[in-house]
Chains A and B, each alone.
Chain A
């Protein structure tokens, strides 16, 4: 069925290391892929997004890459800091790039000082 798979479900890194979270999607017509960060008890907040017409996007320590052929996209966080600890969600719009925006199950990232 239509879905977004996200891995790993938990990730623990040392401060200063890099973290990578991967997502795959099922609909080849999907054209929008955002990443959200959610701190405990708060709403999800957009950290970066990528559209199907580009392969990579960077914003300071975070970057997202998209492989349309393989139908997967990844979040890369470099030089991790304790404040990066949170749950991260990927998402994709399904059904031919419609407004149906579906999320992965999330990755709990812990950055150890």
Chain B
């Protein structure tokens, strides 16, 4: 049981290049998330997916696209990387119950992305 696994862990990109961050969870969770973390800005939600086949914008979606490939996988794509996208990216997941009350969100180990 690996939890939330994201790849790559480190990546350096040139401005204008594209790349995809991969995320997979083995906990059978319904919801999955992508956050970015910058110094002094906390964790900002980029996109989330409440269930397989659905995705919604978070606080800072511009410059990103996502795909909920199946229940396990949720990828984040940068089509044309910019220096402002230099950040640490965290994928996360959690189970949602029928009560409507929230449950624990589990994070991956993070992906350090530098755009030069």
Contacts and interface: CB of A to CB of B under 8 A. Distances in A.
A34 B43 contact: no
A90 to B, nearest CB: 9
A41 to B, nearest CB: 8
B34 to A, nearest CB: 12
A100 interface: yes
Contact of B101 (A46, A53, A103): A53
Contacts, number: 66
A102 B50 CA distance: 14
A4 to B, nearest CB: 9
A112 interface: no
Contact of A97 (B33, B35, B45, B100): B100
A75 B104 CA distance: 17
Interface bracket on A:
20 to 34
Interface in A46-73: 46, 49, 51-53
Interface in B67-116: 90, 94, 96, 100-110
Contact of A51 (B94, B101, B105): B101
Given A99-B96, A100-B45, A103-B43, A43 B107 contact: yes
